[in-house]
């Protein structure tokens, strides 16, 4: 091989190898490097900052965070992040081991929220706070504060975006209530895949009669006795539908629905959001999507 060709080949290959070794955050374009642990947190961060920041969401839309494990690329991204936004109530516990090499700002968005107690099967608090728009409004404030401190040159943009999105969330809160109010009071009973909708049901006057998977995590396995008790509760309470989630295998929920001869809705967004173009890729869109599906099934 002529020497000039060998030199040109090295000039192409070596930078490519360096970029591959450095991970997603290279080359550095000067934007603030932000990591969000889960899809709802990432969506709120994007609503505040848009493309002003370089945002990496570890658990993408449609992925169950309870089953997620940090990979090598994630570890590099976390190590290079200047701001990390997390839930920190168990749903993103996978982050803990990866934090040792990070020197950025760690922001826990659930600090200061009024938290729901987790069911007896779990310890601590229910992490699914994003299903109440009031919590989302408070988390937007926390994101605004953190990003403005880290990138003060964009603080005015962050402020304008945050206030606009908070107004949107307030409007959606009213709209969701109106949708749920179309359900007859006697029909406002739900069975869900796992205990992910406690904040939503408490906000809008619904009752969860039971869950297919016990607790707030999808990693548990229901026993035969628990399934039998759930079937009895569905029949006793006259529940009209079971609601499974887009990110969870609905196999057991479908079996319960068949045994009780009730409808199953298997595409709610509990632990995640929808794919781009679904209408549920934002937190406000997710809330409206869920509300419409719930109302349609229970009316």
The tens digit of pLDDT for each residue in 177-233 reads: 999 999 999 999 999 988 899 999 999 999 999 999 876 655 567 889 999 999 999
For residue 136, pLDDT beyond 80: yes
Q: Are residues 47 and 167 in the same domain?
A: yes
Asked whether residue 154 falls in the same domain as residue 255, the answer is no
Residue 30 forms part of a structural domain: yes
In the predicted model, what is the mean pLDDT of residues 268-278? 95
Domain holding 41: CATH number? 3.40.50.1980
Number of domains into which the chain is organized: 2
How high is the pLDDT of residue 118? 87
Do 167 and 205 sit in the same domain of this protein? no
Q: Look at residue 24 and tell me whether its pLDDT is greater than 70.
A: no
pLDDT at 123: 72
Q: Please report which confidence band the pLDDT of residue 110 belongs to, taking 50, 70 and 90 as the band edges.
A: very high
Greatest mean pLDDT among 59-73, 74-88, 209-223: 74-88
% of the chain surpassing 70 pLDDT: 88
- pLDDT of residue 4 exceeding 60, the answer is no
Q: Domain check: are 135 and 255 in the same one?
A: no
* Mean pLDDT, all residues of the chain: 89
Q: What is the mean pLDDT of residues 133-156?
A: 98
Please indicate, yes or no, if residue 101 is contained in any of the structural domains: yes
Q: Tell me, yes or no, whether 180 lies in a domain.
A: no
Phi, psi values for residue 56, rounded to 5°: -115, 125
> Does the residue 1 lie in any domain?
no
What's the pLDDT score for residue 27? Answer: 59
C-alpha 37/C-alpha 25 separation (Å) is 16
Kindly state whether residues 51 and 28 are assigned to the same domain. Answer: yes
The pLDDT value given to residue 101: 79
> What distance in Å separates the CA atoms of residue 23 and residue 45, rounded to the nearest whole number?
21
Domain boundary among 175, 193, 218: 175
Provide the pLDDT for residue 207: 97
Pick the last residue of a domain from 146, 175, 204.
Answer: 175
Shared-domain flag, residues 159 and 218: no
Say if residue 270 is in the same domain as residue 293.
yes
| 112 occurs within a structural domain | yes
Segment 78-101 mean pLDDT: 94
Q: Decide if pLDDT at 249 tops 70.
A: yes
| Domain final residue pick, 152, 175, 198 | 175
**Domain range for 101:** 10-175
**Measured distance CA(92)–CA(104) in Å, rounded:** 18
165 and 244 inside one domain: no
- The verdict on residue 193 lying in a domain is yes
> Looking at the structure, do residues 114 and 229 belong to the same domain, yes or no?
no
Does residue 193 share a domain with residue 167?
no
Residue 23 has pLDDT above 50, yes or no: no
The CA distance from 273 to 289, in Å, is 10
CA–CA dist 168, 181 (Å, integer): 20
What share of the chain in percent tops pLDDT 90? 77
Whether residue 113 has pLDDT greater than 90: yes
> Which residue intervals of the chain are DSSP H helices?
3-22, 39-49, 72-80, 133-150, 155-180, 198-204, 224-237, 251-260, 283-298
CA distance 193 to 244: 5
In this prediction, residue 216 carries a pLDDT of 61
Q: Are residues 50 and 155 located together in one domain of the fold? A: yes
Q: Which of 61-65, 83-87, 152-156, 167-171 has the lowest mean pLDDT?
A: 61-65
State whether 74 and 121 are in the same domain. Answer: yes
- Output the pLDDT for position 67: 85
Give the number of other CB atoms < 10 A from CB of residue 209. Answer: 16
Predicted local confidence at residue 20, as pLDDT: 38
């Amino acid at each position: 091989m002529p020497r000039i060709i060998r030199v040109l080949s090295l000039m192409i290959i070596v930078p490519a190898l360096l970029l591959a070794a450095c991970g997603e955050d290279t080359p550095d374009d000067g934007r603030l490097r932000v990591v969000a642990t889960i899809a709802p947190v990432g969506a709120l961060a994007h609503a505040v900052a848009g493309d002003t920041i370089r945002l990496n969401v570890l658990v993408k839309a449609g992925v169950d965070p309870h089953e997620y494990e940090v990979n090598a690329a994630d570890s590099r991204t976390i190590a290079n992040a200047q701001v990390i936004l997390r839930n920190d109530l168990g749903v993103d516990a996978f982050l803990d081991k990866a934090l040792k090499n990070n020197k950025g700002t760690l922001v826990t968005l659930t600090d200061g929220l009024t938290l729901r107690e987790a069911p007896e099967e779990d310890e601590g608090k229910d992490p699914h706070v994003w299903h109440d728009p009031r919590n989302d409004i408070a988390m937007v404030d926390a994101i605004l504060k953190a990003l403005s401190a880290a990138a003060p040159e964009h603080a005015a943009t962050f402020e304008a975006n945050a206030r606009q999105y908070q107004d949107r969330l307030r409007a959606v809160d009213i709209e969701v209530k109106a949708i749920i109010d179309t359900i007859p009071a006697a029909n406002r009973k739900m069975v869900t895949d796992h205990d992910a909708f406690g904040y939503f049901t408490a906000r809008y006057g619904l009752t969860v009669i039971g869950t297919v998977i016990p607790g707030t995590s999808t990693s548990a396995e229901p026993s035969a006795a628990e399934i039998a008790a759930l079937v009895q509760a569905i029949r006793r309470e006259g529940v009209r539908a079971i609601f499974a989630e887009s990110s969870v295998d609905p196999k057991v929920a479908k079996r319960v629905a068949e045994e009780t001869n009730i409808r199953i809705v298997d595409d709610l967004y509990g632990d995640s959001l929808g794919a781009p173009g679904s209408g549920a890729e934002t937190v406000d869109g997710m809330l409206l999507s869920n509300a419409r599906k719930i109302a349609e099934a229970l009316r």
